[in-house]
Amino acid sequence: MAFRVLYDANAIFGSLQRSILVRAGIHQARFNLRVLLTEEILDEMVHAVGTRYPDIQPEHRASLKAAIIRAIPDCLITGYDETAVASNIRDPGDRHVVAAAVHTNAQLIVTQDRDFSETALAPHGLAAQSPDDFLTDLFDVNQSTAKELVGEEASARGIAFDALVDLLEERGLIRFAQHLRR
């Protein structure tokens, strides 16, 4: 059975990190992984992008959401009920993430949000991990595929592999970048 992970909106906010995480979803079978998302999580990400970058047109933001859904096979989940999950998550706005993860039997939430503490998630059999730690673990699972998806991103951006690794490090994916340099 594939390891089930739910991406939180903040994990897919930045374009480079989002692209790498989406590429991991595209190659999920090679990592024995199942990447999950919800409409609400994607809408939250799109809203954050629009707030941060108001010059990005609404139709472009909508196409970003659609592209993610198309890129990651069967990622979109429905049917969760955030009121059904007792949670001591500090931010009530994050309950939908826990509810979706519980509903799909996910084992991990990929997030940069510190509200997803071990204390809050453990009763649900969940853990949280930063995108950097998650991608580093994927590297350990399948080094060649991790390098391949970074190579794909470098090609898409028209830059060298090493230049993209430097950029990943600059954007906070420090451990992942260090592993890629091995």
CATH code where residue 167 lies? 3.40.50.1010
Q: Which two tokens stand for residue 97?
A: 């993430």
Q: How far is it, in rounded angstroms, from Cα 44 to Cα 8?
A: 9
Q: How far is it, in rounded angstroms, from Cα 97 to Cα 163?
A: 34
* Closest residue by Cα to residue 125 from 111, 110, 105: 105
pLDDT in tens, the chain (182 residues): 899 999 999 999 999 999 999 999 999 999 999 999 999 999 999 999 999 999 999 899 889 999 999 999 899 999 998 777 766 777 888 989 999 999 999 999 999 998 898 988 999 999 999 999 999 999 999 999 999 999 999 999 999 999 999 999 999 999 999 999 98
> Pseudo-torsion of CA 8, 13, 15, 16, nearest 10°?
-50
Burial of 109 per CB tally in 10 Å (0-12, 13-18, 19+) = buried
Domain that holds residue 164: 3-180
Domain count of the fold of the chain: 1
pTM comes to 0.95
Q: How far is it, in rounded angstroms, from Cα 164 to Cα 182?
A: 15
